[in-house]
A and B are shown apart, each in its own frame.
Chain A
Amino acid sequence: MNTFGYKMSAPRSINMDTADLSVAHRILDLEPTFRLCISCGGCTSTCTAGNFTEFNIREINLLLRRGQLDTLEKALENCMFCGKCYLACPHGVNTRNVILLMKEQLQEWKQSKTTTL
């Protein structure tokens, strides 16, 4: 028998009303050069990891600022800290420190979430 109906999918859109920007604010305060990113992609272009994996260092800035923290955490695993991105950046963003801070801050954020539960 044919059944009619609708299948619901979770929306793909990013809800910026509920996005958690606390980590973003902390990192932007700790490494102010990160505010200067203009998404030119010079970093991704030169990135060793990005040329062989799905890792896109330019995108981590946006993931952070849109509160996409789970996706961000997974993405960070690919970085090898070679620092070539830092050399390519026309705006002098200290990309290496940004990644280091992200790793630290995401740990703290996760811990704070478990302790408040």
Chain B
Amino acid sequence: MEQEKKILVAGGGPGGLETANTLARMGFKVEIVEKEETTGGHLKEWHQLFPNFRDASDVMEELRQRSQHPNISICYNEAILDVKRVNGHFESLTSKKRIIESDAVVMATGFDAFDAERKEEFGYGVYPNVITSVELEKMLREDGKVTTTDGRVPERVAIVHCVGSRDEKVGNFYCSRVCCICGVKQAIEIRKHHPETRVTNFYMDMRMSGQYFEELYRESQERWGVYYVRGRISEASGMMDGKIRVKAEDTLIAKPVTLTVDLLVLMTGIEASKTTKELSKKLEIESDYGFFRPRDRHYDDQHSPIDGIFLVGTAKGPATVKETLADARAAAQRVWEFFESKNV
């Protein structure tokens, strides 16, 4: 069924792509505006996905293939700066000073990983062997080998949970929801590639919030021998030989612990992306922490308070890839209903 209507999708990550793919198959014309030179968002930085180690590139490929649709056009290296409603349709200004006209807008502007330098006590940006989960993923993606800056396989690795999440000092009270399971996944991957390496995760709560997450946590202990210490690392100090010494309390024994590691991996949390923050503020539809605010969190989670502006995925808050894809299909459905209700 061909539709008259045209929809602008801001952001070509998994959420934006899947919304566009669904809308295109419903017959709508879709224009995706992606700020980078390729689509895929953070998914293209990832090696394998939790909890089943599916290749991220496999999911990526599927999304990209489905977006090769005559109803979809994609513009790269371009960002949406502002959206205005003019006589019942939208005029959106882009960074290339173009005005894009559309009948609805979908915000799929996503998240940024927390900037680890803001948590000075972990020494990110000061000690080279302190890295983020994103950088570890890059190592795993490139050759599967995890190494320190001088190219050695680490004897010991510590993984720090909740970096930039659940932290009043950086203004993020919320839990990022995906980093616990990502920490478990990455610990297993290190052990798979380097069975001699000892991996210790420092956590405050292990939040296995999705299906099969708890099983993976169990597998990490049973099969891969990952160590878990319940306590937050209070500081990391660099040693002369490039190693990192961390201090925490093992709260279950109620004693301070220290551990020297070759590599310290920070599980950086999810924050509203710069574009998400700017647009949600400009359009006055922001909720806490700069994410977008849906109309109704139960019944209208994909529609913003403004008629015709829809919201998808991590632009609203932390979400997994699976949740984002489901959300995208729901958003497409909402767009369709929106135009249907207008026809009545």
Instruction: List residues of A whose CB falls within 8 A of some B CB.
Output: 36, 38-47, 50-51, 56, 58-59, 88-92
A88-B235, A89-B169 given; name 11 further pairs at CB < 8 Å: A38-B204, A40-B249, A41-B251, A42-B249, A45-B256, A45-B257, A46-B247, A50-B256, A56-B249, A58-B251, A58-B254
Interface-located stretch among B5-13, B61-69, B226-234, B307-315: B226-234
Flag if A46 contacts B254 (CB, 8 Å).
no
Cα(A47)–Cα(B235), bound, Å: 12
Closest Cβ neighbor of A90 among chain B residues: B167
Flag if B169 contacts A92 (CB, 8 Å).
yes
Least CB distance from A109 to B in Å reads 25
Residue B168 is within 8 A (CB to CB) of chain A in the complex: yes
Contacts of B167 in A (CB 8 A): 90-91
Least CB distance from A59 to B in Å reads 6
Contacts of A92 in B (CB 8 A): 168-169
Flag if A40 contacts B232 (CB, 8 Å).
yes
Least CB distance from B230 to A in Å reads 8
Cα(A43)–Cα(B232), bound, Å: 9
Contacts of A46 in B (CB 8 A): 234-235, 247
Least CB distance from A43 to B in Å reads 8
Cα(A92)–Cα(B167), bound, Å: 8
Residue B250 is within 8 A (CB to CB) of chain A in the complex: yes
What is the interface size of chain B, counting residues whose CB is below 8 A from a CB of the partner? Answer: 23
Contacts of A88 in B (CB 8 A): 121, 234-235
Contacts of B234 in A (CB 8 A): 42-43, 45-46, 88
Closest Cβ neighbor of B231 among chain A residues: A41
Which of A50, A56, A90: most chain B Cβ within 10 A? A90
Contacts of A50 in B (CB 8 A): 249, 256
Contacts of B204 in A (CB 8 A): 38-40
Cα(A41)–Cα(B167), bound, Å: 14
Residue B166 is within 8 A (CB to CB) of chain A in the complex: yes
Contacts of A44 in B (CB 8 A): 249, 251, 254, 256
Closest Cβ neighbor of B162 among chain A residues: A90
Cα(A58)–Cα(B168), bound, Å: 18
Least CB distance from B144 to A in Å reads 33
Contacts of B257 in A (CB 8 A): 45
Least CB distance from A49 to B in Å reads 11
Contacts of A41 in B (CB 8 A): 230-232, 248-251
Contacts of B250 in A (CB 8 A): 41
Contacts of B232 in A (CB 8 A): 40-42, 45, 90
Cα(A114)–Cα(B162), bound, Å: 47
Contacts of A51 in B (CB 8 A): 256
Least CB distance from B147 to A in Å reads 28
Flag if A90 contacts B248 (CB, 8 Å).
no
Within 8 A of A (CB), among B190-239: 204-205, 230-235
Cα(A56)–Cα(B250), bound, Å: 11
Which of B205, B232, B233, B247: most chain A Cβ within 10 A? B232
A-B contact pairs, 10 of them (CB 8 A): A38-B166, A39-B251, A40-B249, A43-B249, A44-B254, A45-B247, A51-B256, A58-B254, A59-B254, A91-B167
Q: Residue-by-residue, is B154-189 near A (CB-CB < 8 Å gives 1, otherwise 0)?
A: 000000001000111100000000000000000000
Cα(A43)–Cα(B168), bound, Å: 15
Q: Which of B121, B162, B235, B249 contacts A58 (CB 8 A)?
A: B249
Least CB distance from B245 to A in Å reads 12
Least CB distance from B194 to A in Å reads 28
Cα(A39)–Cα(B254), bound, Å: 11
Cα(A92)–Cα(B231), bound, Å: 17
Cα(A88)–Cα(B247), bound, Å: 11
Cα(A90)–Cα(B234), bound, Å: 9
Top 9 closest pairs, chain A to chain B, by CB? A41-B249, A40-B232, A44-B249, A45-B234, A41-B251, A41-B231, A46-B234, A88-B234, A42-B232
Cα(A38)–Cα(B235), bound, Å: 18
Least CB distance from B290 to A in Å reads 20
Cα(A44)–Cα(B253), bound, Å: 12
Contacts of A39 in B (CB 8 A): 204, 251
Contacts of B249 in A (CB 8 A): 40-45, 50, 56, 58
